[in-house]
Chain A
Amino acid sequence: MKRINLKSHRNLIFVAAAIVVYAFIAYGMNSNLLPRATQTLAIKACYNVILALSLSLIVGFLGELSLGHAGFFALGAYSGCIFSINSNLPIELRFVLAALIGGTVAAIGGFLISSSILRLQGDYLAIVTLAFGEIIRSFIKIIPVTGGTAGLGGIPSLGSKLKTFTFSYVFVILTILVIRNIVASSHGRAITSIRDNAIAAESIGINIKLYKIKVFTVGAFFAGIAGVILGHYINFIEPANFNYNVSIEILVMVVLGGMGNLLGSIIAAVVITFLPEILRGFDQYRLLIYALALIFMMLASNSPRIINFRVKAREKAAGLYKKLFTRKEE
């Protein structure tokens, strides 16, 4: 019997899925077969996935509830877009540089904020991050270079929707790769160990403070990139784009996807992007549905019966997989 390497198979599936999804949407956009609203939402889904993944690292893996993710999102959006407006480089290069600048500025913000909240945990940390998010937004309102409450206009566009989508999609793939590679490494294990039991993690030499800073910095970096994508896609940003409801919405994606589950976060981010469109008739009940979904997820992820069911289902799937992909050696 020859065993197939499951891990390399998973990589292949990922690459194949990434190409298929891209081909499908690109074709739909090019031929205008996809409805206009869906085309717009596809781009929105890109930055939502990046936001969800970056927050997933903080909430799902490190286990700290951060309610200020919109703050990092805003830092990246404003710094990247201000660069983009004032630059004369070719638009593609400008966009990539803006993404890097936005990410870096947001990462610096993440570094500073996380360094100042090292002693806090749980609810206290959640409240302080919420406050930091609002402080960032208030600052943007008062400093002149951001356009204040009137907003920042004239952000250049990449051109066609397809082009915007393509560039955003590349950043989505990069985000997935980077975050997955962090999670599936010794560093990821250290981060997860802090979530599971901080005291035990310290007792075996895991530097909790250092990892808190690292995780917040990386998370903020990607939130910043998401901000730059948002700016170049709607061409106009204002502080209201980054209020705390946005933080909550990102959190909903992470929780709905299952804490500490990257694929789940991606799916949840896409679903939540498209949900308002699908449920357009029930617009008033959107928040109600979110709340119900969250309560359901909480019950589902803690109920022993459902957990048992999941474990069994997974075992069955693994058995089936082995049967299908294991060949007898001649």
Chain B
Amino acid sequence: MTQVELLEVNNIGISFGGLRAVDNVSLTIKNGQLYGLIGPNGSGKTTLFNMITGVYKPTSGTFYFNGENLTGKSPVEINKKGIARTFQNIRLFKNMSVIDNVKVGLHNKHKYTMFESILRLPRFFHEEQKMEEEALELLGVFDLDKEKDSLACNLPYGKQRKLEIARALATGPKLLLLDEPAAGMNPNETEELMETIRFIRDNFNMTILLIEHDMKLVSGICEEISVLNFGTLLASGKTSEVLNNPEVIAAYLGE
């Protein structure tokens, strides 16, 4: 595996009025890594995600993706560069079918103009065909192909999480950000999710950064982790080392 730096965050920070939500955080993620981000509630993990995906504009610091400065770019541009994400509170397109959710993710990959769709020119059928095939393939990976025509809101919770990951993967990212993928899952489902995450990493050549509170999942699959506390970086490094760090134990894990 090539150990090239894929994401480099330098002293990034953001203030909302007088509140310094994230301050001076730096981290480096290498190609192909499974990287964890942990910390107490309100420590700024999701805010950091929102900055990396362009939802918030950082008020200080920069981040580089694949050697390119993407600080302050829009979510659309950042997604096109190859960063995709899921959300802590699932954000599916609830009134669309399962397969259409994935097809929206393929929107920028197989393009045709609105004009071509109005006149139903050959390109339309050609690209639609490709979209259908790729969407079915992705759904197959997540075992969702049987439910392809049901509405996304009718899926059980665990499958909704999976569909959200499938949709993010459809955009063809290099880096996948997962925001608490195991939230609300029972131990069995979590176990299955760990398998899925490993599978994605190996089969899609993906680099994954994930926020998680489930320590079993984090210590089970993450190679490196960072710990946030009150918006600042408390520790980062090899998972086992960080989890034995007395400061981390005091701030987050508990004695």
Q: Which residues of A contact B84 (CB under 8 A)?
A: 203-204
Q: How far is the CB of A248 from chain B (nearest CB, A)?
A: 25
A202 proximal to B (CB < 8 A): yes
Check if A200 sits within 8 Å of B96, measured CB to CB. Answer: no
How far, in angstroms, from A76 to B33 measured CA to CA in the complex?
A: 58
Check if A200 sits within 8 Å of B91, measured CB to CB. Answer: yes
How far, in angstroms, from A201 to B104 measured CA to CA in the complex?
A: 8
Residue-wise interface mask of A (97-109) relative to B, using a CB-CB cutoff of 8 A (1 in contact, 0 not): 0000000000000
Q: Is the interface of A mostly helix, strand, loop or mixed?
A: helix
Residue-wise interface mask of B (77-103) relative to A, using a CB-CB cutoff of 8 A (1 in contact, 0 not): 001100011010001111110001101
Check if A206 sits within 8 Å of B110, measured CB to CB. Answer: no
Check if A196 sits within 8 Å of B94, measured CB to CB. Answer: yes
Q: Which residues of B contact A214 (CB under 8 A)?
A: 114
Closest to B74 in A: A202
B75 proximal to A (CB < 8 A): yes
Given A200-B93, A202-B75, A203-B53, A185:B104 Cβ within 8 A: no
Q: Which of B53, B76, B96 has the most CB of A within 10 A?
A: B76
Check if B76 sits within 8 Å of A205, measured CB to CB. Answer: yes
Given A182-B118, A186-B127, A205:B108 Cβ within 8 A: yes
Closest to B94 in A: A196
B60 proximal to A (CB < 8 A): no
Q: Which of A181, A193, A202 has the most CB of B within 10 A?
A: A193
How far, in angstroms, from A187 to B104 measured CA to CA in the complex?
A: 9
Q: Which residues of A contact B114 (CB under 8 A)?
A: 182, 185, 187, 214, 218
Q: How far is the CB of A8 from chain B (nearest CB, A)?
A: 13
Chain A contributes a number of interface residues (CB within 8 A of B) equal to 28
Q: Which of B4-12, B138-146, B165-173, B196-204 contacts A (4 or more CB under 8 A)?
A: B165-173
Check if B85 sits within 8 Å of A203, measured CB to CB. Answer: yes
Residue-wise interface mask of B (120-142) relative to A, using a CB-CB cutoff of 8 A (1 in contact, 0 not): 10001001100100000000000
Q: Which residues of A contact B94 (CB under 8 A)?
A: 196-197
Check if B53 sits within 8 Å of A205, measured CB to CB. Answer: no
Closest to B100 in A: A189
Check if A199 sits within 8 Å of B79, measured CB to CB. Answer: no
Check if A182 sits within 8 Å of B117, measured CB to CB. Answer: yes
Q: Which residues of B contact A203 (CB under 8 A)?
A: 53, 55, 75, 79, 84-85, 87, 91, 168
Other contacts beyond A204-B105, A204-B171, A205-B75: 15, CB < 8 A: A181-B118, A186-B106, A186-B112, A186-B117, A186-B131, A188-B117, A189-B103, A196-B94, A197-B93, A201-B104, A203-B75, A203-B168, A204-B79, A204-B170, A206-B104
Q: B residues touching A (Cβ–Cβ < 8 Å)?
A: 53, 55, 74-76, 79-80, 84-85, 87, 91-96, 100-101, 103-108, 110-112, 114, 117-120, 124, 127-128, 131, 167-168, 170-171
